[in-house]
Amino acid sequence: MATGRVAPASVPGTPLLKDELDIVIPAIRSLDFLETWRPFFQHYHLIIVQDGDPSRAIRVPEGFEYELYNRNDVKRILGPRAACISFKDSACRSFGYLVSKKKYVFTIDDDCFVAKDPSGKEINALEQHIKNLLSSSTPFFFNTLYDPYREGADFVRGYPFSLREGVPTAVSHGLWLNIPDYDAPTQLVKPLGRNNRYVDAVLTIPKGSLFPMCGINLAFNRELIGPAMFFGPLGDGELIGRYDDMWAGWCTKVICDHMGWGVKTGLPYIWRNKAINPFLNLKKECNGVYWLEELIPFFQCVTLPKECTTVQKCYIEISKQVKAKLGKLDPYFNKLAEAMVTWIEVWDELNPPTNAPSGPVKGK
């Protein structure tokens, strides 16, 4: 069995991290999807961020413990700085991360259901995320047999012994069966594109590699990386839409690499039910598709000096580089850089830094 923090075995009837994890849901539709998740979510606390008309009453199915915030609440709590929270898209979920007081967060969209594994068994997505987060990651050297900390797995021959302890896992990025997370152009050319392939694997994304982080089925250690999980303002009505989660992912990965923390992708799967109209998505994504080719080289070149010993310091440093380098691409990025600073201000106000994790650690 691999060394390092190994995924905990689940004890039937005992929900893992029950008092240490919040489930954050951005919601503009109904919350009926929660019925299907009842066996897996019922012991956890939900934070629902309601988008759309705040006077609309949104029904939470009986028996769930929750707090619900609408736009008016966000304005009341953040005052003029509420503008950094993007509404009109899934990015309003960031507000849930901000007000959570838990160590871990799992976020899921309101049109996602319980998937089944190839044996027909319902997948407890939350439990798998927790296993991913509670076991170590291996960003500094790739293990060809996937996550060595999973039951029955291990490190292969040639894997340096000095790296087998692994490092803390900051993010667990889950995947989707049925409707894949395609961009609008791919949706347009593959209208019937479905993901039916269940791959029983979890991988650490190597240090230095960026990835497209999708917010649909995502969990993270809020205590470690929470201040970098800012999804916006990149939503509808902005110059660039549907890149809210991507932006958070690039910032997060660059910071995790600097701090010496891991990001895992793969299991668990959820069942994603429907794709939004690709033509509407194309309109939202248009600038993003174009700018993507500039944004990735930008993030590949972000340098974080050793003085950046907290996530907040790293994030502010990235915001400065956004302004200096991407502001030339479009003034929109100056606005985004300012929103990033505001986000850190409100994060620190609502989450006073006590023992903020510091780094960088291994591998620098």
Ligand X SMILES: O=c1ccn([C@@H]2O[C@H](COP(=O)(O)OP(=O)(O)O[C@H]3O[C@@H](CO)[C@H](O)[C@H]3O)[C@@H](O)[C@H]2O)c(=O)[nH]1
Give me the residues that bind Mn ion (CB under 5 A), please: 111
Q: What is each CA distance from 250 to 41, 211, 246, 331, in whole angstroms?
A: 29, 7, 6, 20
Question: For ligand X, which residue of 22, 110, 147, 317 counts as binding (CB under 6 A)?
Answer: 110
Per-residue contact string for residues 2-41; x = within reach of ligand X by CB under 6 A:
------------------------xxxx------------
Cβ atoms of 262 and 136 within 8 Å: the answer is yes
User: By C-beta, is 16 or 214 nearer to Mn ion?
Assistant: 214
Judged by CB under 6 A, does residue 173 bind ligand X?
no
Q: How far apart are the first and last CA of the chain?
A: 27
Kindly identify the residues of this chain, within the stretch 270-309, that bind ligand X according to CB under 6 A.
276
User: By C-beta, is 24 or 153 nearer to ligand X?
Assistant: 24
- Give the per-residue SS3 of 43-112: CCEEEEEECCCCCCCCCCCCCCEEEEECHHHHHHHHHHHHHHCCCCCHHHHHHHHHHCCCCEEEEECCCE
Instruction: Kindly state the tokens that stand for 171.
Output: 């993010």
Number of residues that bind ligand X (CB under 6 A): 19
Judged by CB under 6 A, does residue 90 bind ligand X?
yes
DSSP letter (8 states) at residue 165: T
The nearest distance, CB 175 to ligand X, in angstroms, is 13
* Signed CA dihedral, 77, 83, 88, 90: sign only: negative
User: By C-beta, is 29 or 364 nearer to ligand X?
Assistant: 29
3-class DSSP assignment, residue 228: helix
Stretch near ligand X under the rule CB under 6 A, chosen from 77-85, 87-95, 255-263, 292-300: 87-95
For residue 26, the partner it binds in Mn ion, ligand X, none, with Cβ less than 5 to 8 A by kind, is: ligand X
Give the span between the Cα atoms of 332 and 327, in whole angstroms: 7
Give the span between the Cα atoms of 87 and 78, in whole angstroms: 14
Kindly identify the residues of this chain, within the stretch 225-254, that bind ligand X according to CB under 6 A.
242, 244-245
Stretch near ligand X under the rule CB under 6 A, chosen from 182-190, 213-221, 263-271, 343-351: 213-221
Binding site for ligand X (CB under 6 A): 26-29, 51, 88-90, 92, 109-111, 214-216, 242, 244-245, 276
